[in-house]
Structure 1
Amino acid sequence: MSINPLTSQSVYESLFKHSQSIMLIIDPETGDILDANLAALKFYQYSENEILALKTSEINTLSEKELIKEMKETRLNKSNYYNFQHRLKTGEIRDVEVYSGPIEFGDKKVLYSIVHDISEKKLAQETLKKNESTIRAMINATKSMVYLFDINGVIINLNTPGALLFDKSPNEMIGKNFKIFFKKKEFSRLGVLIKDVVENQEPVSYQKESRGRHYDVQLYPVFNEYDQVDRICVFANDITDLKQTEKAFAAIETAGGICHEMNQPLQVILGNLEIIKMNMKKTDPNLALVNTILSQTEKLGQITKKLAHITRYETKGYIKGTIFDIDKSSRAQ
C-alpha cells in the first residue's frame, strides 16, 4: 500500500517518487515497506507491488529482531545513520549507508529512509587497504630508508630503517610533520627540495651527513589522479662505507704517486751518502752529521714502503682535526 506523507501530491511526486536518491518509507513497528520511489525499484530490482509486499528484514541482512531495535532507536531520535548490507532481488548483497528519520503521517510516525549504495566506495577502501599493506611490505623489504609524506611534510608511511635513523618506530612518526624530527636549518633545506620536486615534477638527489654517517638521498614525485604532485617518496641510503672506500682508493692512488716520485731520488741520496761516508775518516767531525742524514733518509725509505702498501683509509687525531694515519692504513710492517 502506498502512503503519501505529504499533503501536496505534486511535491510528493517531485521530492520522493522521482528523486534520484533511493528512498523508502517504513513502518517502524512492523518493518513493512510502505512506499518506495522509482530509484529504489531500480536499485532493488523489484516491481512496485513486489517491494510493497516486503518487510525490511527481507532486504536487510540483519535479523528482524535487530532491525526492530534499530528502527526503535531511529523513531526515538537516538540514531539516524547506519551502515547495512542490503539484498537485491537477484540475491546480490550491496553495502549501503542509510539515513533514516521519523516523519508524521496523521497520527502515525513512520520512518523516511534515504539509501546510498557504497559498495564501490567500500571496495575502493578495501583495495586501498590492500595496496597500503602491499606498499608497507615492499618498503619494509628494502634496506633503504623509505619515507612517504605529503607536500606539507606530514609523514604518511615509512619503513623501520627509516624510523630507526631518528631512534623512533614507524608508528611514532606516521601522521607527524617531518619538521619535528629535524633541526630548523635541515628542515628548511628539505622544504626547498620538496618545492623543487613539486614545481618541476622531477626527482631530486643530494647527499647529507648526519651523526658521522653519509647518506645519498633521492626525492621522487608521486602524482594523484589529476597528474599533480601531492606526495613525495624519499629513498635514503647509507653510503658511509662507499665514502670510506672512495677515500681509500684516493689515498692509495695518491700514495702510489708519491712513492713513485720519491723512491728514485731517495735511492740516489742514499747511494751518494754511502759514498761520502766511505771516503770520510772516522775522526772527521762531519761523520756524525752524515750518519744522521743517512738515518733520516732510511726512515723516508720506510715511509715510502708503507705508502706502497696502503690498503685502506684510516685517520688519527691531529691538533684540531684528523690526518691520514699511514701506519694503520698500510699492511707493511
Structure 2
Amino acid sequence: MKETILDSPTVFSKDDILRVINNLPLAVAVIDADRKLVLANKMAGMFVKKEENLLVGPVVGAAFGCIHHKDAPEGCGFGKECLKCKLRITVNDTLENERGHFMVETPMTFNSIGRRHLRITTQPLKLQKGKAVLLSIEDVTQAKKYEHAKIEKEKLTVVVRTAGAICHEINQPLMAILGFSELLIDDICHGQVQKENIKEIKDQAERLAEITNKLMAITQYKTKKYLHSEILDLDAASSFVAVPPNPEKGKNDEK
C-alpha cells in the first residue's frame, strides 16, 4: 500500500473542493470524520448510477450501495465483510493518521453495477468543520479483464508450443519403431529374424522414455524455431540429463 504524508493540510471550503472535483475525470468524493459522504462529483454519481446529491449524507458503503452495508444491525462498516474491506481500511487510516494512500487496488460489489475492480487513492483534508478524506475511485474492471485474457492467451501459447514439441519429439522415434516393425514382419514371413531391427526398436522405445523424463523435468521456458512457428526446446528447458549407454552392458547383451 503506497502512502504519502502531508505535514499540514490546507483548510478548504466545500464549494472550493466541489469546483475542482467536478472537473476531474475520476469518481471523487469527500468523506468526513464520521465516515459520511459530504461531497461527490458528477463522475461519482455516474459511477454508481445515482444523482450526486443523493450520494451526500450516508456513510460511504451505504452511499455507494455496497452489497454488505446492511450486513450488521449496527450499520455500515460493522459487518464481517466490512472488517476486510480495503476501501474502509484505507479511508480510516487516512482519517486517523492523516496519511494518504496511492492507487490501492481492491474488488468491491455494488447493488447498482455489480462486482467491480477499483483503484483508490486517498488524501487527508481539513474542512472548516474538521478532518476529512479526499477519495478518488478509478474503475479498472475492463483493464483487469483484458489483463486476465492476455495471461490466458499467453498460457494457451505455452500449451500449444509444448504440445508441438511433444509431437515433434515423439513422432521421430515412433516413425522409426513403425518402420523397423514392418521390416520385422516381413522377415518373420520369410522365416528370418533380424537382431539389428529388434535392437533399433528397443533403442527408439528407450528414446521415448527419455522424452517423457525430460517433460517431467522442465524447469524453464525455452523455445526454438520449427517450421513457421516456435515450439518448446525440450533439451534446453529440461534439467533431465540422459545417462550414456554402458558399453559393457552392450557386450554382455551380445553374449
TM-score by length of 1: 0.40
Query: Which residue is 2:149 aligned to?
Result: 127
Q: Indicate if the aligned counterparts of 2:90 and 2:122 stay in contact, CA closer than 8 A.
A: no
Q: Deviations over 1:301-329 (max 9, x none)?
A: xxxxxxxxxxxxxxxxxxxxxxxxxxxxx
Distance 1:121 1:236 in 2: 33
Structure with higher Rg: it is: 1
Distance 2:53 2:13 in 1: 23
Query: Cα offset for 1:56?
Result: 1.5
Structure 1 segment 130-141 matched on structure 2, within 5 A: 130-141=152-163
Query: Cα offset for 1:114?
Result: 1.0
Structure 1 segment 173-212 matched on structure 2, within 5 A: 173-174=220-221
Question: Are 1:74 and 2:102 an aligned pair?
Answer: no
**Structure 1: gaps of 5 or more residues:** 147-160, 179-189, 191-204, 206-216, 221-232, 239-333
- 1:74 alignment partner AA: T
Query: Which residue is 1:113 aligned to?
Result: 135
Query: Which residue is 1:90 aligned to?
Result: 112
Query: Which residue is 1:6 aligned to?
Result: 12
Q: Deviations over 1:232-269 (max 9, x none)?
A: x456699xxxxxxxxxxxxxxxxxxxxxxxxxxxxxxx
Distance 2:154 2:21 in 1: 41
> In structure 2, the residue corresponding to 1:129 is in which secondary structure?
helix
Q: Indicate if the aligned counterparts of 2:103 and 2:121 stay in contact, CA closer than 8 A.
A: yes
Q: Indicate if the aligned counterparts of 2:116 and 2:139 stay in contact, CA closer than 8 A.
A: yes
TM-score by length of 2: 0.51
Count matched residues: 165
Q: Deviations over 1:67-105 (max 9, x none)?
A: 554322223227444223344552522211100121111
Task: Calculate the aligned-residue CA RMSD, in Å.
Answer: 3.9
> In structure 2, the residue corresponding to 1:102 is in which secondary structure?
strand
Larger relative contact order (C-alpha < 8 A, sep ≥ 6)? Answer: 2
Question: Are 1:18 and 2:8 an aligned pair?
Answer: no
Distance 2:67 2:157 in 1: 34
Q: Indicate if the aligned counterparts of 1:85 and 1:95 stay in contact, CA closer than 8 A.
A: yes
CA 1:35–1:144: 2 relative to 1, 3 Å: same
CA 1:53–1:145: 2 relative to 1, 3 Å: farther
- 1:71 alignment partner AA: V
Q: Deviations over 1:269-291 (max 9, x none)?
A: xxxxxxxxxxxxxxxxxxxxxxx
CA 1:145–1:236: 2 relative to 1, 3 Å: farther
Query: Cα offset for 1:115?
Result: 0.7
Query: Cα offset for 1:22?
Result: 1.1
Query: Which residue is 1:44 aligned to?
Result: 48
Structure 1 segment 211-250 matched on structure 2, within 5 A: 217-218=226-227, 220=229, 233-234=230-231
Distance 1:69 1:236 in 2: 48
Q: Deviations over 1:206-256 (max 9, x none)?
A: xxxxxxxxxxx4464xxxxxxxxxxxx456699xxxxxxxxxxxxxxxxxx
Distance 2:233 2:131 in 1: 64
CA 1:109–1:139: 2 relative to 1, 3 Å: same
